[in-house]
Amino acid sequence: MHGNTTVKICDSSILITGGTGSFGKAFVSAVLERCPNVRRLVIFSRDELKQFEMRQQFPEDKYPAIRYFLGDVRDKDRLRRALQGVDTVVHAAALKQVPAAAYDPFEFIKTNVIGAQNVIEACLDTDVRRVVALSTDKAAAPINLYGATKLCSDKLFLAANNVKGTRDLRLSVVRYGNVMGSRGSVIPYFINQARRGLISITHKDMTRFNISLEDGVNMVFWGLQNAIGGEIFIPKIPSYRIEDVATAVAPSITPTYIGIRPGEKMHEEMITSNDAGNAWDIGSYYAILGQHMEIALEHYSRGFDYKRLPNDFSYKSDTNPSFLTVQEIRDLIIKHVDNNFRPI
């Protein structure tokens, strides 16, 4: 599977929005490792300092395919300029902090919703052929504004397949849960807290999905290779209990329970029972298929072991059959977050 994916992406000119973020850096690193002869790799983001820092890691003289492009997804003209000669887009730019979304909601709408539409229109106006947009588990039955903006973004990308005309343009979405070790995620937060001698947990029963950056990147590669357009892809990943994460990080510290914050769920879900009628198991991933389901199923019947999910199916972090143990969480922290980590 990786072989075909690599050939496909290595023959592309790729632009990634939000390219200096946690996912962006991991994706860029993976492309450069798997595709040393990639034609072009454009890092599109709005932060000049992060681009400067990323240039130290991936200098243009060593990686001649790389281009650093300052710009904001709120600026459609700038996006259109950046997309000249690009055929593959990964849309990772977003504002994503839940409390900030509650405090400054329209800023999130401008980036996550209007920005998404700008990306779509710029792709329609240029010669882009493949688009994968990153979503979040918070977009499924959202209860906070961040999740609501990402649900809007998902719907915009899926609906864009209706207006592409006869050209081979495919836009799809990947949706997954907490990325282990990404900026703002719970594990680095707990590690920093533990170094000061405390751990604060919202609720002892809270659960979350868990995915590594590496698996998230592989999923985007897979989507670029295999999507026909209009799907939401969801990985089969384990859950963890927040209390177990705290124990994995700092077994010697008794946690303080602070209560669930506004806009926060006790458990996340990635497929609701209302989505189940359009949801399929396609082997490595689940897929929520769009209105062209017959065409999609014909596609996935070739080379994929696919089956329909039950009508009452839902994919939630608390009822997930796969849960990480404390030791497994600890091993993953050492592998994906900090190779020198030791429990506190």
Please list the active-site residues.
Answer: 138
> What is d(CA 15, CA 34) in angstroms, rounded to the nearest whole number?
16
Nearest of 150, 149, 204 to residue 177 by alpha carbon: 150
Which three-class secondary structure state does DSSP give residue 280?
strand
Residue carrying structure tokens 């209009």: 230
Nearest of 265, 267, 292 to residue 278 by alpha carbon: 292
User: Torsion angle, CA of 109/124/8/173, rounded to 10 degrees?
Assistant: 30
Residues with Cβ within 8 Å of 227's Cβ and at least 6 positions away in sequence, in order, are 130, 132, 170, 172, 233
Residue 55: which H helix or E strand, with range? helix 48-57
Angle in degrees, 0-180, between the axes of helices 326-336 and 242-249, rounded to the nearest 10? 70
Q: Where are the beta strands (DSSP E) in 185-332?
A: 200-201, 207-211, 232-235, 239-241, 256-257, 269-271, 279-281, 285-288, 307-308, 315-316
Both tokens of 41, joined, read 């790799």
Q: What is the CB-side half-sphere exposure of residue 301 using CA atoms within 13 A?
A: 7
Would you say 316 and 141 are in contact if contact means Cβ atoms under 8 Å apart? no
Which three-class secondary structure state does DSSP give residue 151?
helix
